[in-house]
Amino acid sequence: MAKNISKKASGVALGSSMLLLSMLPAASAFAASAPAVVSVSLSSEQGTVAVGNTVSFTATTQQTGSGTPLFQFWYEGPHGNWHGSSWSTSNTFQLPPLEQGSYEVVVYAKDKGQSVPVDSEATNTNQFVNVDSSATLTAPSLTNVAPGTTLNFTASSKNLTNPVYQLWIQKPDGTWFSSGPYQSSPDFSVTADVAGDYKAVLFAKDLNAPQDAQFSEFSKATFDAFGQAAAVKLSAASSSLVADGQATDTITATVVDANGNPVANFNGTVTIASSGSGVKFAPATGQASDFTFSGTSGTLTLSQGKGSFVVDAGTVAGLSDTFTASDLTPTAGSPVSGVATGTATVKTIPQVATKIIVTPSTQRVAVNQSSADPVQAEVVDQLGNPMLSGTYPLTFTVVGRERLMAQHRRRPRFRAMAQPVPRRPVRRWIRSPEKAGPSMSTSPPRTCRPPTRPSKRWLQGTRQPFN
């Protein structure tokens, strides 16, 4: 009973004190608030660290007042033992040479004048370091998965303490969904509700690590869910061909499901037929190896849902040809019923003269009248193939000493003839025997040899005798 009275008396005394303080000016007018640490953060190197390396940490505080912050660091190694330091003003810490596994580092902070009760954690934060750690996701091996099929995945990790896992899946439309919270079980089941390409990402982390990719290891995998074959799509590399008899086009057949997604696991054949006369199947020498034909119909072999064949342009412009795919048949099976027919149309367009190609035979001629170098001029279309018809006046200009000798052909050819090199006039002189002195020769007249190159005056057109 006395104990209760004592508490009550203390309460009365406290109430009287509060009443008295309320009648005085604010306490801040007489003394500043005691400084205190409000929060602390920890920064370090990011990512997986190699064995034997060290990692340094730096703590940063936010506090009220202008006090002196104190720090205490602790860490737990792969063996589960905790190691700590004393309170000090140093805000840096370095782990010893690291072993394989995961480390948790915790920093506590307080102001030097701040009272922290025994066993209190004060203000703290933590980080994790993974040493030589990794995660692995094993995806199922699929052959033919219809929408709605459940797929099983298996997760595994290396050098993580008490690992937990989380799986994320990206659907064909780009949206993501997760397996739920982190779990210790490595097994996951995912339903592929639509056909198409899927992406999976596994996150693995220490049990006590934050749910953040920064402190996790990850692994990626992809898988495909294929619908049933519903149509064959034909697509031409070009919808028009130049009617020069040499242009080619490649048409690709793709097996797709009801949603237009490729059925990449389909293997078999499809029948291709053509109608029209402007474009024809390319001969065997220029044809794709997986296509055989006779006349206007052929069989295309499909591998992983695709196949292609080659067509050649004729020489008549303005025609349109349609190619049709039908009778889709899987390997060692019967034709698939209900498959939509695919078509592709290719038109022929006129040639357009776009370039003149001039080609000499040797690019050299001898310096005489009998040597000639044939030069061929050819007019080509937009694809670089020769024009099949038409008259094209051409003007030739020769720069140099050669001249042209035309030969009238469908493809004009000319001969370049070299002009002769003029010879220097010969100067002769005779020394008279009568006037010959002791040093003068009476031998037969000597002839001055012409120079090996024409003189400048000759090249300028002056044909007067040399002085």
Q: Do 431 and 400 fall into the same domain?
A: no
Question: Considering its fold, how many domains does the chain have in total?
Answer: 5
CA atoms of 195 and 415, how far apart (whole Å): 68
Angle subtended at Cα 434 by Cα 430 and Cα 436, rounded to the nearest 5 degrees: 65
Looking at the DSSP assignment, which residues form a beta bridge with residue 70? 110
- What pLDDT score does 461 carry? 42
Nearest to 373 by CA among 343, 333, 414: 414
What pLDDT is recorded for position 33? 65
- Give me the count of residues in the chain: 467
| Residue 294 shares a structural domain with residue 383 | no
Containing domain of residue 406, as a range?
Answer: 355-418
Q: What is the pTM of this model?
A: 0.49
Same domain, 168 and 237: no
Find the farthest-apart pair of alpha carbons in the chain and give their distance in angstroms, rounded: 175
Are residues 344 and 238 part of one domain?
yes
Whole-number pLDDT of residue 391: 85
Both structure tokens of 162 = 């008490």
Q: Domain check: are 54 and 42 in the same one?
A: yes
192 and 243 in one domain? no
Q: Is residue 12 part of a domain?
A: no
Q: Which of 229, 176, 219 is nearest to 198 (CA)?
A: 176
- Coil, strand or helix at 40: strand
Radius of gyration of the chain measured on its C-alpha atoms? 47
Please report whether residue 93 resides in a domain. Answer: yes
Q: Are residues 169 and 212 part of one domain?
A: yes
Amino acid at 19: L
Q: Which residue bears the tokens 């860490």?
A: 75
Q: Are strands 248-256 and 306-313 parallel, antiparallel or unpaired?
A: antiparallel
**Tokens standing for residue 27:** 């306490």
Domain boundary among 131, 147, 163: 131
Domain check: are 102 and 161 in the same one? no
Closest CA to 266 of 234, 323, 307: 307
**Strands across the sheet with 123-131, in order?**
82-84, 69-76, 101-111, 123-131
Last-in-domain residue among 205, 225, 245: 225
With respect to residue 210, please indicate whether it lies within any of the assigned structural domains.
yes
Instruction: Give the pLDDT score at 188.
Output: 95
Q: State which of 195, 225, 255 marks the end of a domain.
A: 225
**Residue 1 belongs to some domain of the structure:** no
Is residue 346 within 8 A of residue 282, CB to CB? The reply is: no
What integer pLDDT is reported at residue 405 of this predicted model?
Answer: 65
Alpha-carbon distance of 89 to 382, in angstroms, equals 80
Please tell me whether residues 162 and 193 are part of one structural domain. Answer: yes
Q: Whole-angstrom Cα distance, residue 203 to residue 189?
A: 15
What 3-state class would DSSP assign to 438?
coil
pLDDT for 252: 96
Nearest residue to 160 via CA among 82, 104, 234 = 104
CA distance 405 to 414: 5
Note whether 215 and 310 are same-domain residues. no
In a domain, 170, yes or no: yes
Residues 70 and 146 in one domain: no
CATH number at residue 339: 2.60.40.10
Residue 142 inside a domain? The answer is: yes
pLDDT value, residue 3: 32
Residue 224's DSSP bridge partners are 197
Q: How far apart are CA 427 and CA 425, in angstroms?
A: 7
CB 195 within 8 A of CB 229: no
Q: Write down the pLDDT at residue 376.
A: 84
Q: What pairing do the DSSP bridges indicate for beta strands 342-349 and 240-242?
A: parallel
Would residue 16 count as lying in a domain?
no
pLDDT mean by block of 10 residues, the chain; 467 residues? 32 34 39 76 80 92 88 91 93 93 92 69 83 89 67 91 92 92 94 84 91 86 82 94 93 90 88 92 87 93 94 93 94 83 93 89 69 81 88 80 59 49 48 46 48 44 40
Shared domain check, 341 and 243: yes
Instruction: Confirm whether 14 is domain-assigned.
Output: no
Q: Write down the pLDDT at residue 432.
A: 44
